[in-house]
Chains A and B, each alone.
Chain A
Amino acid sequence: MPDAHAAAAIAVMAAGTALLRFLPFAVFGGRRTPALVARLGRLLPCAIMGMLVVYCLKDVEFSSAAGFLPQLIGGGCVAAICAKTKNALLAIIAGTALYMVLVQAVF
């Protein structure tokens, strides 16, 4: 039920999320960013994208074909089209459409 407790809980969620987002800038964002942090910052983007891809696929399970084949085929299609044509939008649209067909009509 919407009430004062819900409002307080939302405020806590907002504050916690903002804290995590602002903390690195507050601690390391001064005039001189420590070299170690700056280096981590440069190496992180590629590692983070790898982590996010795994995060998106975390619920695949291999006990049934429907548990992993749509993700595998859809994801492979996206990667292949993107690598070949260098057109990311085309890859996303084609891969998502294929994935939707697979989960709605095939598996």
Chain B
Amino acid sequence: MRGIFRRAVRDTVPVMTGYLVLGAGFGLLMRANGFGAGWAAAMSLFIYAGSMQYAGVELLASGAGLVSVALTTLMVNARHLFYGISMIGRYKHAGAAKPYLIFSLTDETYSILCSAPKDRRYDLWVSVLDQAYWVFGTVAGNLLGGALPFDTTGVDFALTALFITIFVQQWQSTRQHFPALCGVGVSAVCLWLFGPDNFLVPAMLAIAAVLLFAGERKEGGEKDA
């Protein structure tokens, strides 16, 4: 029990760094738009999706209509469909914690869990810790308001670094590099074609198509479900 908790804490240190800073940034932005700690915390508790919450501040501040709020949410968060699809097997027998595990599956939590050994309690600790960092950062940022004693510019790179290390670890643990290359290559092409604000949805569709079509032949020799 203690061992699993400690492993979860250790593995989520990069997420803690990133979430405290980005959560604080979000809390600060809410405050600048006239929303107190209760509002900011509610968003981090019930939405719990970083980039969406940043986009959400603008939607709230501009009084955007509910239909456009809904459409923006679906666009910005569409990538979560992918996380769900690849966690169906892992969460199949997660028991009572399953709804929370699904609800709290952010980019970062997914990254940590997708290549970790399967363990229900570990999954839950990582999920709970990550959201705790995020909510704490949000409230602290909202209450303290930019009064940090040192310059944190660039510290959010910890999350980029987290994704890079998991990419490297996955690369080293398999001889089949086609999915990884597909993910980078297709995303880069879509970024070039559609620009930074719109490339993610086309990239997802193209990745799924390439993996299913080309993966068919690549996997041909292996025994498959």
Listed in ascending order, the chain A residues whose CB lies under 8 Å from chain B are 1-2, 5-6, 8-14, 16-25, 28-29, 33, 35-59, 70-71, 74-75, 78-79, 82-83, 86, 88-89, 91-92, 95-96, 99-100, 102-104
| A89/B224 in contact, CB under 8 A | no
Please report whether the interface of chain B is mostly helix, strand, loop or mixed according to DSSP.
Answer: helix
Q: Determine which of B70, B179, B181 lies in contact with A16 in the assembled complex, contact meaning CB atoms within 8 Å.
A: B70
Task: Give the number of A-B contacts (CB < 8 Å).
Answer: 258
Partner of B73 from the list A12, A29, A55, A104 (CB cut-off 8 Å) is: A12
Asked whether B14 lies within 8 Å of A24 as measured between CB atoms, the reply is no
Contacts of A78 in B (CB 8 A): 161, 164-165
**Contact partner, A17, options B35, B73, B196, Cβ 8 Å:** B73
Across-interface contacts of B191 in A (CB, < 8 A) = 54, 58
Does residue B208 face the partner (Cβ distance < 8 Å to A)?
Answer: yes
Q: Which residue of A lies closest to B73 (CB)?
A: A16
Range, interface on chain B:
35 or more
CB neighbours (8 Å) of B69 from chain A are: 9, 12-13, 16
Q: Mark B72-84, 1 if CB is under 8 A from A, else 0.
A: 0110011111111
* The residue from A18, A44, A100 contacting B153, defined by CB atoms under 8 A apart: A100
The distance from the CB of A34 to the nearest CB of chain B, in whole angstroms, is 10
Does B129 sit at the interface, judged by CB under 8 A?
A: no
In the assembled complex, B143 has its CB within 8 A of some CB on chain A: no
Residues in chain B near residue A37, CB distance under 8 A: 85, 88
